[in-house]
Amino acid sequence: MKNNKYVIYSTVVAALGGLLFGFDTAVISGTTSWLEKVYELSSFWLGFTVTSALIGTIIGAIMIGKPADKYGRRNTLFIVAVLYFISALGSAFAWDWYSFLIFRFIGGIGVGGASVVSPMYIAEISPAKYRGRLVAVTQFNIVFGVLLAFFSNYIITELNLGAVEWRWMFGVEAAPAAIFFILLFKNPLSPRWLVANDRISEAKSVIEKCGSDSDNIEEEIEAIKASLDFEHDSLQEPLLSKKYIKPILLAIAIAMFNQLSGINAIMYYAPHIFKMAGAGSESAMLQTVLIGGINLILTMLALSVIDNFGRKKLMIVGSIGYILSLSSVAWAFYTYGTEFTETGSWIILISLLVFVASHAFGQGAVIWVFLSEIFPNKVRARGQALGTFTHWFMAAVISWTFPIIAEASGGHTFTFYAVCMVGQLFWVIYIMPETKGVSLEQIQKKLGIK
């Protein structure tokens, strides 16, 4: 890279969208008991309340592609930062259940936008040989945000703030949202977006600062032009066409499998699950922090090896870990039911730690990198939006249904997730392509897209 500090700084700042993404999605896990009490919610309506942000996330993910193409990736991240800020303060000061749902929905739009634009932006400013690690910084920040949310919830619980405790849990997010907005001013525009908008000299300047795949800026500009069919096509080419069927199916598959593991249900309801397994309230919060810590450590490990091991190997290891850990949790719930012994509680804790470690080392590290790589330049924003929409749609379904199904049978719930992960393992082995060390333009050719 020509300038390590510049591209790393730009990556870290863009990835703050991921940190807020992680914080915003996980923070509600510490508030579910309060929300049930304050708003008198049944299992069905608790699931809906948690899912309200995910509904916003679905809409944000599917709508963000066009603004990202029209106004630029970086400029769209400014909007995301504002949405996070409004949601944090609004959720904290919500005056009734309906206003709370609205502000969580707004935050969800920000999460959906960040989950598309942050990794896409980083992929487009990164040289190919570093792209996996740099895009994976988004995932690192997502899990760091999750850990921060769990830890923040634990600290606020220890302060014994009483009836306003849950409001503080949501409100603290406003500070990092404001910092994210301010730091974005020093980030460059995406060189691929600049080329697509015929701002060639600006694109050359950004590539010179961030580094070139071939150490030849002119060659890289020409490669980007060719991939865009610059003289004949525009960014308005439809995504849903036959020639893009391979990346579309790959994106939908990896996104669906990600959520069919049950990861978001576990992140949203971790304290609830630990209480089901016999833990007290404070112990459940502390165990949830441990989950966040393991998630962070294994993500760091995956980030350091993703460009050496490749995407497929990480996915295979993660899939095997999913199957073993989910099967163990299911067995524990079948065995102990609602009468958990200390041994049973330990089995749940250890199994969920293995589960989260498997996710962090596999799907968690790979999904946002993979989605940012497999679509051609012309349709990358909309393609990644489709993959992210699928991810969040499945997250909403899983998260809404979890408290209802788990109330009836924890064993059935985790057995279903384990079976789905067997399906993922076969998909990875026989269908998923390897993309490590391949330029974005070459990946397009590898998938047979002309």
d(CA 149, CA 154): 9
Q: Please state the φ and ψ torsions of residue 442, each to the nearest 5 degrees.
A: -70, -30
Residue at 4: amino acid letter: N
d(CA 23, CA 173): 7
pLDDT for the residue 244? 80
Closest CA to 52 of 92, 18, 102, 9: 102
Q: What integer is the mean pLDDT of 166-176?
A: 92
Mean pLDDT of the chain: 83
Closest CA to 331 of 349, 354, 347, 320: 347
Residue 416 CB burial class (10 angstroms; 0-12, 13-18, ≥19): middle
8 A C-beta contact, residue 277 and residue 348 = yes
Q: pLDDT (tens digit, 9 = 90+) per residue, 25-74?
A: 888 888 888 888 889 888 788 888 888 888 888 888 778 878 888 888 89
With cut-offs at 50, 70 and 90, classify the pLDDT of residue 151.
confident
The whole-model pTM stands at 0.74
d(CA 294, CA 366): 17
d(CA 78, CA 3): 24
Mark out the alpha helices in 165-240 (DSSP H runs): 165-171, 174-183, 191-196, 200-210, 217-228
pLDDT for the residue 26? 83
d(CA 85, CA 170): 10
pLDDT for the residue 177? 94
d(CA 439, CA 73): 20
d(CA 112, CA 391): 10
d(CA 433, CA 415): 28
Given a cut of 60, is residue 235 above it in pLDDT?
no
d(CA 399, CA 406): 11
Element (H, E) at 106: helix 97-125
Count of structural domains within the chain: 1
pLDDT for the residue 87? 94
Q: What is the CATH number of the domain that holds 52?
A: 1.20.1250.20
Indicate the DSSP class of residue 42. Answer: -
8 A C-beta contact, residue 177 and residue 88 = yes
Given a cut of 80, is residue 239 above it in pLDDT?
no
d(CA 312, CA 326): 21
Given a cut of 60, is residue 232 above it in pLDDT?
no
8 A C-beta contact, residue 29 and residue 291 = no
Q: pLDDT (tens digit, 9 = 90+) per residue, 87-142?
A: 999 999 999 999 999 999 999 999 888 888 888 888 888 776 777 778 778 777 88
d(CA 251, CA 370): 8
Given a cut of 70, is residue 233 above it in pLDDT?
no
Residue at 197: amino acid letter: N
Q: What integer is the mean pLDDT of 212-217?
A: 69
d(CA 432, CA 309): 15
Unique residue bearing structure tokens 């990092």: 176
pLDDT for the residue 231? 37
Q: What does the block give as tokens for 449? A: 């897209």
Domain that holds residue 310: 4-446
Given a cut of 60, is residue 383 above it in pLDDT?
yes
Closest CA to 276 of 146, 421, 415, 402: 402
